[in-house]
Amino acid sequence: MSAPGSEGPETSGPGGWLGAAGPYLTMGMELAIAVVGMFFIGRWIDAAWDTGPWGMFTGLVIGVVGGFIRFIRRALALGRAEDDAGGTKNG
CB atoms within 10 A of CB 72: 11
Within a domain: 46:
yes
- Where b means 16+ CB within 10 Å and e means fewer, 11-48 reads eeeeeeeeeeeeeeeebeeebeebbeebbebbeebbee
Within a domain: 15:
no
Within a domain: 40:
yes
Spatial distance between the Cα atoms of 51 and 41, rounded to a whole number of angstroms = 13
* Domain range enclosing 56: 26-84
Confidence of residue 71 (pLDDT cuts 50, 70, 90): very high
Within a domain: 78:
yes
Confidence of residue 9 (pLDDT cuts 50, 70, 90): low
Within a domain: 7:
no
Confidence of residue 87 (pLDDT cuts 50, 70, 90): low
Spatial distance between the Cα atoms of 20 and 40, rounded to a whole number of angstroms = 32
User: How many structural domains comprise the chain?
Assistant: 1
pLDDT confidence of residue 5: 55
